Structure 1
Amino acid sequence: MQFTIMNKHILLIILLATGGLAAQTNALSNSPYSLFGAGIPNTFSTGKTNALGGAGIALKSDNSLNSLNAASLGAMPLNHFYFDIGYTSQLFNLNEGAGTSKQTNSTFSNLALAFPVTTKSAVSVVLAPYSNVGYDITGIEHSIEGSTEFYSSDVSGNGSLNSLDLNYGYAVFNNFRLGITGSYFFGKTEQTEYNTIYDYSLDIQRENRYSGYRLGMGLQYEVTEKIAIGSTVKLPSQLKTTQNSIITQDYADAITEDTSVKDFELPLEVGIGTEFKFGKSYAVYADYTRKLWSDTDQELGYGTLIDQNIFKTGLTFTPKPGSIYYWENVEYRAGLNYDTGYLNLSGADVKNYSMSVGVGLPISRSGSKLNLMYSYGQNGELANGLIRENIHSLSINFSLDGIWFVKSKYN
């Protein structure tokens, strides 16, 4: 038997991605909204779904890995295996009315692999950020208790909460699949607060560490050859949170202490999705996800958590699938995403939307693709003291489809 795998250049990419994810400490965020909770939720996924506005709950993993629904693995072909490596770069334009600023960042966004277990089932492992923290806020004024005077603070933070997902999908029938996901969450966020009170300084460094588990489930049903539906559920979970603080002030030794903090809670999440195919060239996807943040009973100090509704839709077009001409096998994609937000600050919900376009460029006959995506989005608004963020994002995913344990053929 011959074990066929990608060339040395692709293996090098995999090794670099593994090292990049393992060493990642700074987050893919330059948003002041990441100050709240465990940061801004990650919206990037594997394969082509990034260019579809994030839609894909009903998309099966028959030629690439779809990490949005574990049930999709029930459609994975035998003797194939998938690698998916993602890299994302973002440009933030922050506008608070009185001024603007620009910030950029980039990082590896996911590392995933999948392989079949039987003719009807497969397993995948996905490592990706769950949320990101990255902010630098200056000139915050606080009133001094018992006085009419104020003192100022500068606050900065960074870090991420990561998830390691083990997914299993099984095809109960040819058109009906079930899936289950076990997630392990880990990571840390750091915050440094510089306070100036009269002529004295007081600096506080806080480090929060998170760890915990979560269970999720999914299903997919192909109503006809052209219509499919899917659904996912992620159960609520509590992540153990520990905090270490270092307090430094003028003319005194630093004080280190472990602080008791409330565990961070993940909400119940429910999603549904559809897929409609038109001929061999077109496919349309539409998803809806609801996250019940208001049931988590968490205090933010400056705002409140609200239930989040996310609407996603995407379109794919391939001129002539299976053609001998390269550009007729390229998949063109577009998507829209509207999110009602999970934060309410100063009486206003922090909503966001994005528009995306992308292509899937074939890089091998087995089905491997280079997935490119550009999106433009807006988060927040210039009202009620909020900040509007205009976000330009670029993502690149190597979605690699390999074949193993296949006998060599000789002429």
Structure 2
Amino acid sequence: MARLYLALLVTGTTLLSAVAQENSPFARYGLGNIYSGSNVVSRSMGGLGVAHADGLNNNVGQSINFSNPATYGNLYMTSFDLGLMIDSRTLRSNNPSGHFQSNYFIPTYVVVGMPLNRKKGWGLAFGLRPVTRINYSVHTFEQIRTDSLVNVYEGSGGLNQFFVGLGKKWKSLNIGFNAGYHFGNKDISTKKAFVNDTVFHYQSNSFTNTHFNGLFFDAGMQYEIKLSKKEFKEKKSTDQYALRFGATASLKQQLSASQDIGRQTYTQTSNGEVTIDSIYEVKNTKGKITLPFSYAGGITFHKTTTSVRGAFEMWSIGAEYAVTQWTQYRFYGQTEPLVNSWQMKVGGQFCPNPINGKNYWSNVNYRAGVYYGKDYVNPDGNGLKQFGVSLGAGLPVKKWRSYDYQFTTINTAFEFGKRGSSVNNITENYFQLSFGLSLSDIWFQKRKYD
């Protein structure tokens, strides 16, 4: 049944013209296509974030790493972080042969972070971001005896998250947590209409609209081991090499849901759809949606140079492994064609020469990464492999000075990826261009002189 339904969806994609929306049949399953749970800095490194720490060094700036709340203890300035993304997807089908392209633009997060007590290592962050997205509209055509039947499959909605997180730093150990509120909706419908010149038929609409919300909790930790240190007296600088370990976990969660179901006939007029008769209607049916347990672990190896101008991260490289147990997912007690997903990520960044500060491009942080894994959607039973590469840069808007505590950084990420392989009838290629704007300053500081 799942194979037939997906095949019908793909048939319709070859008949539609491109529109400015995400139009992926994979969004029909679960709660839709999943957004990356990391900021633009991490996305430019293949999604590396569990063992990565923002805001520790002067040349990196202070993007807020909400993928691991343990990093909030490193915050030393109040920061505003905004992420935007342009997404372009190409859906391809082998049988029937065809392809369909869609493009869309969406904000990916708005986050504020601040130190609560810099000396004791307390930090706070809060923000809003989309977690998943459902948005598709697909037409199919079929022949029933002498009549032509048009099917329209539509879906919209997704899951959103508002979070508040707290982090604490003790020398080499950081711990933290995020807690907050999940909310969203999943509205799906199937419309049918006969195309006939001699016999009139009303059109039918079968819809299910579900609204859901609930609390969530996740936690993280990081631990750093200093490997070696070398001092250069003539340069008045010190090089230090260290390993940073990180881990995060998100608890299994229950969302409270309310559902409206309807089966009706309607007609299309110049003023829109007009309902003729409601054949079946049930409103406000209560239920539960179960979101799965997930965990991730990673390691980063990095070099830091300290001089009279401050501390600067010269380069870092790391790896990360993440798992989400999607077989635990339930929608009103029902399962869907989902599997446990996993992803392996490798990435890094380097800054050519931030210490002398003479050349702009020597202060830019260059980043790259790669990821590989298995997607959580499994409509055809063969599994969906996922692979992607990313490139990016952290562009300082103005030159850093030791007496100036204002940082403005534009972070960019270019991602090329693919869902599916030769064993799948349907594959999806995507290109994502992300921009992050990080604004940091010393706020709430009591003046000593007026």
TM-score by length of 2: 0.77
Counterpart in the other structure of 1:9: none
Distance 1:377 1:160, change over 3 A: same
Larger Rg: 2
Is 1:363 aligned with 2:388? no
Distance 1:303 1:346, change over 3 A: farther
Superposition map of 1:46-195 within 5 A = 46-62=39-55, 63-77=62-76, 80-97=77-94, 98-119=97-118, 120-139=121-140, 153-171=151-169, 173-195=170-192
Superposition map of 1:310-325 within 5 A = 310-324=343-357, 325=359
Counterpart in the other structure of 1:228: 244
Distance 1:222 1:177, change over 3 A: same
Contact 1:56 1:286 in 2 (8 A): no
Shift of the alpha carbon at 1:256?
4.8
Superposition map of 1:5-404 within 5 A = 29-43=22-36, 45-62=38-55, 63-77=62-76, 80-97=77-94, 98-119=97-118, 120-139=121-140, 153-171=151-169, 173-196=170-193, 199-224=201-226, 225-250=241-266, 252-254=276-278, 256-258=281-283, 260=285, 262-278=287-303, 280-297=313-330, 304-324=337-357, 325-364=359-398, 365=400, 366-381=406-421, 383-384=423-424, 386-404=425-443
Unpaired segments ≥5 residues, structure 1: 1-26
Shift of the alpha carbon at 1:300?
10
Q: 2-side partners of 1:167 and 1:141: how far apart?
A: 52
SS in 1 for 2:66: coil
SS in 2 for 1:223: strand
- Root-mean-square deviation (Å): 2.8
Distance 1:352 1:28, change over 3 A: farther
Q: 1-side partners of 2:63 and 2:21: how far apart?
A: 25
Q: 2-side partners of 1:264 and 1:297: how far apart?
A: 6
Q: Which runs of 4+ in 1 moved over 6 A?
A: 140-143, 299-302, 407-410
Shift of the alpha carbon at 1:302?
9.5
Contact 2:30 2:338 in 1 (8 A): no
Shift of the alpha carbon at 1:247?
3.3
Shift of the alpha carbon at 1:319?
0.4
How many pairs are equivalent?
Answer: 377
Q: 2-side partners of 1:299 and 1:183: how far apart?
A: 23
SS in 2 for 1:304: coil
Q: 1-side partners of 2:335 and 2:444: how far apart?
A: 57
Shift of the alpha carbon at 1:190?
2.2
Identify which range, 278-287 or 95-104, moves more after superposition.
Answer: 278-287
Shift of the alpha carbon at 1:292?
1.0
Distance 1:142 1:117, change over 3 A: farther
Contact 1:38 1:131 in 2 (8 A): yes
Unpaired segments ≥5 residues, structure 2: 1-19, 56-61, 196-200, 227-240, 268-275, 305-312, 401-405
Q: 1-side partners of 2:334 and 2:288: how far apart?
A: 15
Q: 2-side partners of 1:137 and 1:32: how far apart?
A: 8
Distance 1:195 1:51, change over 3 A: same
TM-score by length of 1: 0.84
Of all paired residues, the percent bearing the same amino acid is 26
SS in 2 for 1:71: helix
Q: 1-side partners of 2:179 and 2:383: how far apart?
A: 31
Contact 1:56 1:285 in 2 (8 A): no
